[in-house]
C-alpha cells in the first residue's frame, strides 16, 4: 500500500499547542504581532555561526565568529538579528568575544588570560591585525573536552569592539546582545551595574533605529539591565534544565518564567532540547505574555525548526545561517496570513512546506524527542 503524504501541520501530536500571539506589550517592537503562527525570526549565532573547531563540517569554521565580517555575511542571507557576546575589558571597553579565557602560544608554551583582565590594546593584539604590517599573537582555543586547538577558519577577521559593530554592520540588521559573564564567579550587584552601564553607554550612543535585544544567562545581570533602562527588551537565557547550576533560577523553564515575571523581563531564550522535552511550557510562556526564542544544535535541522514554528516559538538562533534561512523562506506561507521570510521571497513563488509520508512523520516525531 502506498504511503499517504501528510502535511506536518496536520500532526495530531501538536494539537495541544493553542493559537498564541507572537508577543504582547511585553515584547520588543520587532516581535509584536497578533496572528499565529507568524513570521519566524532567524538569528545568526555569533554572526554566521559559531566556530566549532572540532567539527568535520567546514561550515562551522567558515568565518571568524563574533566578527564584523561574520555579522555582515549573515546579513546577506536575510537573518533578522545577529547574536553576539559582549564583555568589558579592564579599561572599560565593551568587546565582542565569547570565551572567558583567551589562549596563545609563546616559545612552545600555551598561555591563557582572562579576557576581562585585559586592556583593549592587549585584547586586540590577538589574532589577525587591522594593519597588514602588524603580526598578532597566535590564537588558540580551548574546547569543552580540554583540548587546545589552533583557531583556524577559512575567512579570518580581527576582533572588534561593540562600538565598531554598530559602526560597521548594516543598520538593518538587529543586534541580540548577550551580556556575557563567567558562571564560576559570584558577582556583586555593584560590579554588575558598573559593567552594564559601560555597555549601555555605547548602545545609547550608537543604536539609532537598529532593533536591539539584550539577553543573559546571568539572572541578576538580566534583572539589572531591565532596571537600568526601559528602551530595549531584556530576555532571560536558560538551558531549561538540560544542565544544572547552583542558582536555581537557571535550572528549569518554570524558574525562567518566574524570573521574567518577577523582574518584568520580556522574554525567554531556551535551549531547544528543553522545549521539545517540555512542550507544555510553551502555553505557559505565551500566557505570561513573554516572547520565546530558542538556541542549540537542533536549530540547525530544518525539520526541528519547522516544528518549533508550528509550536509557536517566535525565533531561532542558528549556526547554519544559509541552510536555515533558505528552509524558513520555503516553508512560510504566501497566502495564509503569514509573512514570507525577508528579501529572499519573490512574488509568485509557490510556498514549499516540508511534506512527509505517514511513516516519515512517525519517525520524525520519535527522533526529535530522542535527540532532545
pLDDT in tens for each of the 372 residues of the chain? Answer: 333 333 433 333 343 333 333 332 233 444 533 334 478 999 999 999 999 999 999 999 999 999 999 999 999 999 999 999 999 999 999 999 999 999 999 999 999 999 999 999 999 999 999 998 999 999 999 999 999 999 999 999 999 999 999 999 999 999 999 999 999 999 999 999 999 999 999 999 999 999 999 999 999 999 999 999 999 999 999 999 999 999 999 999 999 999 999 999 999 999 999 999 999 999 999 999 999 999 999 999 999 999 999 899 999 999 999 999 999 998 874 334 444 333 333 333 334 455 555 555 555 655 665 555
Q: Of all helices (H) and strands (E), which one includes residue 163? A: helix 162-168
Peptide bond into 37 cis (omega under 30): yes
Q: What are residue 116's phi and psi, to 5 degrees? A: -75, -5
DSSP-derived secondary structure letter, 354: -
Retrieve residue 279's grid coordinates. Answer: 512542550
The answer to whether residues 344 and 325 touch, using CB atoms and an 8 Å cutoff, is yes
* Rounded CA separation 350/274 (Å): 34
What does the pLDDT read at residue 247? Answer: 96
Q: What is the pLDDT of residue 350?
A: 38
Strands 234-238 and 212-216, sheet pairing: parallel
Q: How far apart are CA 218 and CA 201, in angstroms?
A: 20
Burial category of 258 from C-beta neighbours within 10 Å (exposed 0-12, middle 13-18, buried 19 and up): middle
Distance CA 239, CA 251 (A): 7
Torsion of CA 9, 74, 100, 183, to 10 degrees: -20
The answer to whether residues 154 and 126 touch, using CB atoms and an 8 Å cutoff, is no
Query: Which CATH architecture does the domain made up of 5-58+78-89+173-371 adopt?
Result: Alpha-Beta Barrel (3.20)
Per-residue pLDDT at 132: 87
Q: Which residue has the cell 493553542?
A: 18
User: CA–CA separation, 308 vs 316, rounded Å?
Assistant: 9
Residues in the chain: 372
By CB atoms closer than 10 A (0-12, 13-18, 19+), residue 359 is exposed
- pTM score, whole prediction: 0.84
Nearest to 144 by CA among 113, 86, 101: 101
Q: What is the DSSP string of 267-323?
A: EEEEEHHHHHH-TTHHHHHHHTT-EEEEESGGGGSHHHHHHHHHHT--EEEES-HHH
CB 229 within 8 A of CB 213: no
How many Å apart are CA 284 and CA 349, to the nearest integer? 36
Amino acid at each position: 500500500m502506498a504511503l499517504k503524504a501528510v502535511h506536518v501541520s496536520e500532526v495530531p501530536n501538536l494539537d495541544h499547542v493553542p493559537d498564541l500571539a507572537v508577543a504582547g506589550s511585553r515584547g520588543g517592537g520587532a516581535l509584536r504581532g497578533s496572528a499565529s503562527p507568524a513570521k519566524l525570526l532567524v538569528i545568526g549565532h555569533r554572526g554566521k555561526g559559531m566556530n566549532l573547531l572540532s567539527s568535520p563540517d567546514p561550515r562551522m569554521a567558515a568565518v571568524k565568529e563574533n566578527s564584523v565580517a561574520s555579522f555582515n555575511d549573515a546579513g546577506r542571507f536575510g537573518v533578522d538579528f545577529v547574536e553576539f557576546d559582549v564583555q568589558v575589558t579592564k579599561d572599560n571597553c565593551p568587546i565582542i568575544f565569547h570565551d572567558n579565557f583567551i589562549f596563545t602560544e609563546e616559545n612552545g608554551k600555551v598561555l591563557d588570560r582572562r579576557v576581562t583582565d585585559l586592556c583593549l590594546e592587549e585584547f586586540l593584539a590577538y589574532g589577525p591585525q587591522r594593519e597588514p604590517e602588524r603580526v598578532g599573537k597566535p590564537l588558540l582555543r580551548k574546547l569543552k573536552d580540554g583540548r587546545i586547538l589552533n583557531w583556524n577558519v577559512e575567512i579570518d577577521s580581527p576582533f572588534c569592539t561593540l562600538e565598531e559593530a554598530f559602526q560597521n554592520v548594516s543598520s538593518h540588521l538587529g543586534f541580540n546582545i548577550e551580556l556575557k559573564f563567567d558562571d564560576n564567579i559570584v558577582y556583586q550587584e555593584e560590579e554588575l551595574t558598573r559593567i552594564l552601564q559601560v555597555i549601555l553607554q555605547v548602545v545609547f550612543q550608537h543604536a539609532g533605529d537598529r532593533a536591539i535585544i539584550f539577553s543573559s544567562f546571568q539572572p541578576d545581570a538580566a534583572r539589572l539591565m531591565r532596571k537600568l533602562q526601559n528602551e530595549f527588551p531584556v530576555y532571560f537565557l536558560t538551558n531549561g534544565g538540560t544542565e544544572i547550576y547552583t542558582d536555581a533560577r537557571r535550572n528549569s523553564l518554570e524558574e525562567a518564567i518566574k524570573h521574567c515575571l518577577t523582574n518584568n523581563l520580556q522574554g525567554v531564550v531556551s535551549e531547544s532540547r528543553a522545549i521539545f522535552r517540555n512542550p507544555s511550557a510553551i502555553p505557559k510562556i505565551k500566557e505570561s505574555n513573554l516572547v520565546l526564542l530558542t538556541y542549540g544544535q537542533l536549530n540547525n535541522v530544518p525539520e526541528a525548526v519547522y516544528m518549533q514554528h508550528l509550536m509557536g516559538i517566535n525565533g531561532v538562533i542558528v549556526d547554519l545561517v544559509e541552510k536555515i534561512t533558505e528552509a524558513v523562506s520555503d516553508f512560510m506561507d504566501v497566502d495564509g496570513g503569514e509573512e514570507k521570510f525577508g528579501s529572499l521571497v519573490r512574488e509568485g513563488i509557490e510556498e514549499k512546506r516540508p511534506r512527509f509520508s505517514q511513516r516519515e512523520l512517525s519517525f520524525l516525531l520519535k527522533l526529535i524527542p530522542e535527540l532532545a
